[in-house]
Structure 1
Amino acid sequence: MKKYASLLLFALILNGCDDGDLTVDTIDFSNESIKAQTCDPLTNNLIYKLKPQESLLIQLPDNSIINDPSVYSYDINNSTYRVVYRAYDGTVATANICGTIPPKTPNITEEWIGTAGKIEITTTSIPGTASTDGSTTITGYNHTIVFRNITFAKPAGDQVEAEYVFGNFSTSYTAPNTVFTNPVQQCTNASKQVYNYNASSALTIDNIDPALLVNEITTTPRTGLINANGTTNKVLLRTYINGTLTQSYFCNTTIPSSPAVSETWIARDGLAGESGIIEVTTTNVNKVFTHTIVLKNVTLQKDHSSFKLATNYVLGNLEVVVP
C-alpha cells in the first residue's frame, strides 16, 4: 500500500511542476554558443542574449557602444541604462524582444531589474587578415561587457553580484578605401595641399615641404618626416558619407558641406630612418616632371584605433609641366 501511495505522490508532484513555468535561482548565459545580438545595428541601443526560456537585456542610449579601444563605464539607473532579466513560460525568440508588436506568448513568469551598479564595456579592435605588403586593417570591434556590483531587484528580494560577465558583443567596421587610381594633384592656394582620392576617401599631405617637390631629376629620393601636429607634412586620411567625392571638393576656400566627413585618420609623427617617411623620386620627360610620392612605414591613428598602410605605400604621381 505504501508503494502505491508513494507512486501517487510522485505523480502529483510531476503534474504540479509540468506547467511550463521556469523557477530561477541564478542567471547563467556564460555558454559561448549564446551570442549577444542587437535589435538595431545602427544604434546598438538594445543588446540581448536568449536561452530557450530566458532573456538578458541591456538597454542603452544610442551609440553608447563605441568603436574605439578603451574602457567605458555607465551607471545602471533603470532609466537610460537598464539591465533586465526575464524568464518565460515558453520558448522566447527575437520577435519577443525586438518586435514592433511583440507576440502574446510566451508570458513572462519572472523578472529581475538592475537597480544599481555599473555596465563596464572593454572594447578592442578586431584585426583583418595579415597582408604581405605590411598593411593592416580593422574589420570590427569586440566589446566585452561586465556588470560591476549590480543589484537585481527580484521577486524574492534584492540580489547583489560583485561581477557578472554578460559576454562579448561584436560590431562590424568598414575600413577606409586606400586604393587611389587618380593622378596626384596639388592645390595652388596657400595650403599647397597634395591629395589623391576615390569616391569615398581621400589621402592628403597638408603644407608639404616644398623641398620635396623641386623640379629636378633625383639620383636618390628626397625624404621628409610626417609631422602630425606641425605646420608641414601633415598626412590625413578622411572618409566621406552622403555623396561622392570628386576633384571639385578640393582646394576651396570654404570646405564643401557635401559629401560630409565621416572619419579623420592622422598619420603618426615620423622617425628618421624608421617610420612616417615621405619619399619623393623625380623624373623628367619632355619638360614634364613626374614626382612619385611614396609613404613609408606609416601608421594612421584615430582616437585609440590605428592601422598601417603598406610598408611602401605609393600615393601616386604628381606631374608638373615646365614651359
Structure 2
Amino acid sequence: MTLGTISGYELIKPLGSGGMGDVYFAVSPTADRVALKVIRKHLIDEPTVRERFAAEVDSLKLVYGSRVARLENADPYADPAWLAVEYVPGATLRQHVDAHGPLPVAEAAMVGAMLADGLDKVHQVRLLHRDLKPQNIILGPDGPKLIDFGLAVLVDRSDYLTAPGAMVGTPAYMAPEQVKGERELTAAVDVYGLAATLVFALTGHGLYPPTNSWNLLLRITEPGDLPDLSGVPAELTPLLGAMLAFDPGARPALGDVGKRLLAVATASSGRSAAQLRQDVAALTYADDTELLVPADLQDPRQDPEGTPAVEESTVPEPTLPPTQVDPEPPPVTPQADVSWLVDKIRRQYARRATL
C-alpha cells in the first residue's frame, strides 16, 4: 500500500515536513530509492519564483561529488512542483546530536572538512546552498552528505516576518547579509552556515540563545553582538570565529577552511584522514534507519485495466518426447581363427586317456 504516485514515483513513507514542503521516501519504476520533496503551492505560485526554481534545478544537474545527495529528477512546472534526490540512509546531524550529544573534536573537524569539500564543488558550478544547518546534513554510511540544495530560493522573508525584503535560509544559521535581505550573496554565506553548524555539532547549542524571530534577526545584524562560542574546543575557536566574521570579505575561503579543519582532525587524534572517515561513520551512522523497497510493492508499470498487454494461454503446450535416433551399430571387430588350437588340445587330452 502506497501513499500515492507522482510522475511514476510511488510514495512509500513520509520522511519529514518543513516550511518548503513535505518529503517522502519514494521508489522509481525501476526500484531506485529517492527522497522526493513536494513543494508547497503558495511558495511557487509566482511565475518568476517558479522560473528561479527551475534555474536552480538546472544548476543542480551540474553538482557532483560524494558529499552531495545527487539530483535524481525534478519537475518545477508540475502541479505540485517536486524534486527527487538520492535517498541517503542515516540520521541528520541535528538528530544525532540531540540523541547522543556533541561530537568529539576530531570527528567534528573531519565532518567539517568533508562538508567543506562538498560545498567547494557546489560553488564551482556557481550554486550556493543558502540554508546550511544540522537538519540538512545526513550522516550516511560513508560520512556526511548535504541535502536541500536550491530550495532556499523559495522562502521569502514574509515566511518569518511581515517586513518587506527577501530573505532565504533558516534564521538561526543565517549570515548577517542574508538577514538583511541582500541580493548579491557570495560563497561566504555558506562559510558562515558551516561554522554555525559546526558550533552546534561541537556544543549542542546555537550561536544565539533561543528567542523569537525578531530578536534573533536583530542580534545577528548587530556587529557588536558576537556569536556564542562557549564550549567550542580551543583548537577550533580561532577558525570558527573567523568563519563567523560579520564582514563576508573577512571570512576565509572554503579551500582554506577545509585544510585547517583536516589539520585539526589529524593532529588532535593522531589518525590519518582515511582512519578518521571510518571513525566518523562508526560513530554517527545509524544503520537501523535505512528504508528498503517494500517486497510487496506493486509494479507501478502494470496495465491500468489489470490485464496483460498480451494474452497468454494457460493451457500448457504438450511436451513431445525427444526424437529417437537409431544408434549406429558398434563396429565389428574381426575374430581370430583359433579352431586349430582347440583341435590340438582335444587330441592331447584324448591321447592321455589311452595311456
- Higher Rg of the two aligned structures: 2
Instruction: Write 1 or 2 for the structure with the bigger share of helix.
Output: 2
Instruction: Write 1 or 2 for the structure with the bigger share of strand.
Output: 1
Relative contact order: is structure 1 or structure 2 higher (C-alpha 8 Å, sep ≥ 6)? Answer: 2
Pairwise TM-score range, normalised by the shorter structure: under 0.3
> TM (normalized to structure 2)?
0.18
> TM (normalized to structure 1)?
0.20
